[in-house]
C-alpha cells in the first residue's frame, strides 16, 4: 500500500464533511488501512482550545488577521503533534479541513489574500495533502441545512455574501490543484455521497 498519506475533506459549511470523514475512515479501516481520523481546527488539546476561541459567537469583534493567525497556530500544533508523526509511521490521516480552508475562508472570504497561504506554509512546514475531497454544495443550500440544526458558530453566522466568496475561493483552489481534488455532489443523500467517496478512494489507492 501507499505510505504516509494525508487525505483532506473540504467544502462549504453544511456540506456534510464531518459525516463523510467518519464514513471514509470506517471504510478504510475495514480494508485494513491504518487510519488516523482528525479535524481542524482541533485534533489536539491545544488546538481544540484555540478552536473554541475562534468559533465563539461572543467575540464578533475578532480581527480578521487574528482569526487567520489563530487558525494557523492551531494547525501548527496539529501538524507537529498528530499529523506529521502519523505520516512518519506510514498511517493514512483523514482530516476534516486543512490549509485550503484557511485560504478559502480567510484569504477569499475575509479578503486577506496571499498572506494566508504564507502563514500556513510556515505552520505546516511542508506537510501537504495527497488527496482532497471537495463536497460541493451551493452556499445558500449549505446554510439552509445548518440553520435547521441551530447553534451556529461564529463563521457559520456570517453573511451569504461571505460564504459565496469562500465558495469562489474553493473553485480557484480546485482549478489550481486538479490532480489532487475529487469533487463530489454533496446535495445527494449521505449514503450516496459516502459510496461515491469510497469508490474514488479505492480507485486512487489502486493506482
Q: What is the span of the domain harbouring residue 134?
A: 5-206
**3-state class of 2 per DSSP?**
coil
pLDDT tier at 1 (50, 70, 90 boundaries)? very low
Secondary structure (3-state) at 120: helix
Strand locations in 69-162 (E):
92-96, 131-136
pLDDT at residue 149, as a whole number:
73
pLDDT for residue 184: 98
Question: What percent of the chain lies above the pLDDT cut of 90?
Answer: 94
Question: pLDDT averaged over the chain?
Answer: 96
Instruction: Please give the grid coordinates belonging to residue 172.
Output: 480557484
pLDDT at res. 15: 96
Question: Is beta strand 5-10 parallel, antiparallel or unpaired with respect to 35-39?
Answer: unpaired
Q: Determine how many CB atoms are found less than 10 A away from the CB of residue 142.
A: 23
The per-residue pLDDT for 148 is 79
Domain count, the chain: 1
**Distance from C-alpha of 24 to C-alpha of 203, rounded to nearest angstrom:** 13
| pTM of the complete model | 0.95
CATH number at residue 142: 3.40.50.300
- For 33-85, write each residue's pLDDT tens digit: 999 999 999 999 999 999 999 999 999 999 999 999 999 999 999 999 999 99
Question: Does the pLDDT of residue 3 top 80, yes or no?
Answer: no
Query: What share of the chain in percent tops pLDDT 70?
Result: 99
The pLDDT assigned to 147 comes to: 83
Lowest mean pLDDT among 107-121, 122-136, 151-165: 151-165
Q: What's the pLDDT tens digit per position in 128-153? A: 999 999 999 999 999 999 887 777 89
Amino acid at each position: 500500500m501507499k505510505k504516509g498519506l494525508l487525505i483532506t475533506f473540504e467544502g462549504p459549511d453544511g456540506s456534510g464533511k464531518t459525516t463523510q470523514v467518519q464514513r471514509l475512515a470506517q471504510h478504510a479501516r475495514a480494508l485494513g488501512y491504518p487510519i488516523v481520523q482528525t479535524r481542524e481546527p482541533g485534533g489536539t488539546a491545544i488546538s481544540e482550545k484555540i478552536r473554541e476561541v475562534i468559533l465563539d459567537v461572543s467575540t464578533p469583534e475578532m480581527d480578521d488577521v487574528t482569526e487567520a493567525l489563530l487558525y494557523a497556530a492551531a494547525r501548527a500544533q496539529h501538524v507537529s503533534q498528530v499529523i506529521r508523526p502519523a505520516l512518519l509511521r506510514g498511517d493514512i490521516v483523514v482530516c476534516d479541513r486543512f490549509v485550503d480552508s484557511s485560504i478559502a475562508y480567510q484569504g477569499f472570504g475575509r479578503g486577506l489574500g496571499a498572506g494566508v497561504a504564507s502563514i500556513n506554509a510556515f505552520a505546516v512546514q511542508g506537510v501537504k495533502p495527497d488527496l482532497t475531497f471537495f463536497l460541493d454544495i451551493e452556499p445558500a443550500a449549505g446554510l439552509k441545512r445548518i440553520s435547521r440544526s441551530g447553534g451556529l458558530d461564529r463563521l457559520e453566522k456570517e453573511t451569504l455574501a461571505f460564504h459565496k466568496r469562500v465558495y469562489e475561493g474553493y473553485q480557484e483552489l480546485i482549478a489550481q490543484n486538479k490532480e489532487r481534488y475529487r469533487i463530489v455532489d454533496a446535495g445527494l443523500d449521505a449514503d450516496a455521497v459516502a459510496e461515491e467517496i469510497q469508490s474514488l478512494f479505492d480507485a486512487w489507492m489502486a493506482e
